Amino acid sequence: MDTQLDFLHLRRLGINTHQEPVVYMRQDCQVAISEGFYAHSRVEVHCADQSVIATLVLVCSELLSHEEAGLSEAAWHRLGCPADGEQARFHHARPVESMSFVRGKLYGQRFNDESAKAIIEDIKAGHYSDIQLSAFVTACAGDRLDLDETIAITRAMVSSGQRFDWSSDKVLDKHCVGGLPGNRTTPIVVAIVAANGLLMPKTSSRAITSPAGTADTMESMTTVTMTFEHMRDVVEQEGGCLAWGGSVSLSPTDDIVIRVERALDLDSEGQLVASVISKKVAAGSKQVLIDIPVGPTAKVRSQSMAQTLKQLLEKTGAALGLDVRTIITDGNQPIGRGIGPALEARDILQVLRNDGHAPQDLREKSLQLAGIMLEMGEKAAVGQGYALAQRTLLDGRAMDKFKAICLAQGGFMEPPVAEFTHCIHAQHSGVVAYFNNRFIARLASLAGAPNAKAAGIELHVTLGDEVEAGAPLFTLHAEAPGELAYALDFLDGHTDVIRIEEQMV
């Protein structure tokens, strides 16, 4: 062996490994052999003046030549999007030092400002592999983060990202702990609050496993992917915005952690609180209203869990300089008729337009939340917020503000309508007794939401309604017949999506 190849030519493979950078290499290539790489080594890749720590996946086929290394999308982006064929060097990555704090936590030590900062910075830099993220999330699971640790992690998350600083000291925000289909109050609340001269720089998330996030819903009417500067301009001009949080780099580690939590179906009260509060602080908010729906298939299932969460949210908020108020609401059934981006958007527009067919539960809840926020922002005396919110809606100023925000973000369009629909009817008469929120969300996803914007479910009944046999219960909406068929298949095996109980005399 006279010549030695100590570099490989990069090739973008177009493989989506989420935030975890992955590099692919033949197990019998010179670099893998001479570096002593084993499967799932953590390796450092250097290309020009960029570098990334990646997980190594070995290949035993002709997928790659002996001179090539493949890059996942995350690795390719972190290396500055190198052209195919560029040379890169590889060596073993040093162990991630902040993992020692995660190990310490497992042995009974507690996180403090220093360790929280080290961990969050390493996660942001992409230094944690997926299994390391899983270990961190597991170490924080349940009630294992106390108040001080939650505050430390929240602070670290805020300082890891960009942060808005507004001139006003009345900067409102709201958040819903979630788990309820529909419940898309945010756009209505932002419109009412901003129409009354308060600032409300709202960022929202996209759906990961649910049929729609607020960002998905808004995207059926306007642009939500905005730069930090664009969002600032919109808020300075209109008082409010409805941006996708992922595009403005507030608390950037949050999405990474949430993805792993969801994959593990593991909740951490401390992480939840750090996630919510860090995003509000980074958005420059000062008064925050948090809606905690409680119900058997919602995220929070008991009043005692809601009380614990309320305490942790308020105290962590206070430590970070926020005035946090919480409201515990009914999480027994969906709010509004639509589930899915465009169907939820239609509900929102009906409320804003004072349409006689607007879903009253969505309208009521939006007015209630907006009313409290107008009081928090001192635009209404205590007890007068609801009336002011109602006037703002009735006189059209809320709709005008909503449209103005959409135009500032990039334009306004009516949400699309699905081409394929199918109505499900009651099999017998009785009273609507139970909504399985999880099945409803699943059905809407199967029908194509949120990727197919017009897809989802339109509900025709609410809890307590009396229905006759044959009365419509809900309609499936899909953009393609295959997706519609798929949702119908699910219904074959799951009849108890909405339960009708025969009335007792």
66 binding a second copy? (CB under 8 A): no
How would DSSP label each residue in 441-487?
HHHHHHTTTTTSTT-EEEE---TT-EE-TT-EEEEEEESSHHHHHHH
* 263 belongs to the binding site for a second copy (CB under 8 A): yes
169 assigned to active site: no
Shortest distance, position 258 Cβ to a second copy, whole Å: 13
Q: Does 496 bind a second copy (CB under 8 A)?
A: no
* Cα–Cα–Cα angle for 382, 384, 390, rounded to 5 degrees: 145
Q: Which is nearer to a second copy, 296 or 481 (CB)?
A: 481
- CB of 294 within 8 A of CB of 329? yes
Of 197, 296, 396, 482, the residue at the interface with a second copy (CB under 8 A) is 482
Q: Are 327 and 372 in contact (CB under 8 A)?
A: yes
Concatenate the DSSP letters of all residues of 392-406 into one string.
HHHTTHHHHHHHHHH
Q: Assign residue 358 a region: left if phi > 0, alpha if psi is -120 to 50, beta otherwise?
A: beta
Q: Which is nearer to a second copy, 61 or 167 (CB)?
A: 61
Contacts with a second copy, 84-123, as mask; x by CB under 8 A = -----------x---x---x--xxx---------------
Site string for a second copy, 161-200 (x = CB under 8 A): ----------------------------------------
Nearer to a second copy, 30 or 308 (CB): 30
Q: Which of 48, 50, 66, 131 forms a contact with a second copy (CB under 8 A)?
A: 131
Q: 427, exposed or middle or buried, with CB in 10 Å at 0-12, 13-18, 19+?
A: exposed
Under rule CB under 8 A, residue 260 binds a second copy: yes
If you write DSSP's letter for every residue of 103-162 in order, what string do you get?
A: HHHHTT----HHHHHHHHHHHHTT-S-HHHHHHHHHHT-BT-S-HHHHHHHHHHHHHTS-
Q: Does 139 bind a second copy (CB under 8 A)?
A: yes
Residue number with CB closer to a second copy (1 or 504) = 1
Contacts of 265 by beta carbon, 8 Å cutoff, 6+ apart = none
Q: Binding to a second copy by residue 209, rule CB under 8 A? A: yes
Applying CB under 8 A, does 57 fall inside the site for a second copy? yes
> Is residue 436 a contact residue for a second copy (CB under 8 A)?
no
Q: Is 216 in the site for a second copy (CB under 8 A)?
A: no
Q: What are phi and psi of 171, to 5 degrees?
A: -125, 105
**For the packed helices 253-264 and 130-139, what is the interaxial angle rounded to 10 degrees?**
80
Q: How far apart are CA 236 and CA 424, in angstroms?
A: 46
Q: Which residues pair with 200 in a beta bridge?
A: 240
Q: Does 217 bind a second copy (CB under 8 A)?
A: no
Q: Which stretch binds a second copy (CB under 8 A): 222-230, 263-271, 340-348, 388-396?
A: 263-271
Q: Is 14 in the site for a second copy (CB under 8 A)?
A: yes
491 binds a second copy (CB under 8 A): no
Q: Is 12 in the site for a second copy (CB under 8 A)?
A: yes
Query: Do 312 and 275 form a contact (C-beta atoms < 8 A)?
Result: no
Of 255, 267, 323, 400, which is the active-site residue?
267
Applying CB under 8 A, does 9 fall inside the site for a second copy? no
Q: With contacts defined by CB under 8 A, name the span among 46-54, 141-149, 220-228, 350-358 that binds a second copy.
A: 141-149
**Pattern of binders to a second copy over 18-47, x per CB under 8 A?**
x-----x--x--x--xxxx-xxx-------
Residue among 222, 456, 446 at smallest CA distance from 340: 456
- The encoded tokens of residue 136 equal 């961190």
- CA–CA separation, 466 vs 502, rounded Å? 10
- 171: DSSP letter: B
- With tokens 């670099």, the residue in question is 31
Residues assigned a catalytic role = 267
Contact positions vs a second copy (CB under 8 A): 1, 4, 6, 12-18, 24, 27, 30, 33-36, 38-40, 57-63, 73, 95, 99, 103, 106-108, 129-135, 137-139, 141-144, 208-209, 259-260, 263-266, 445-446, 448, 451, 480-483, 485-486
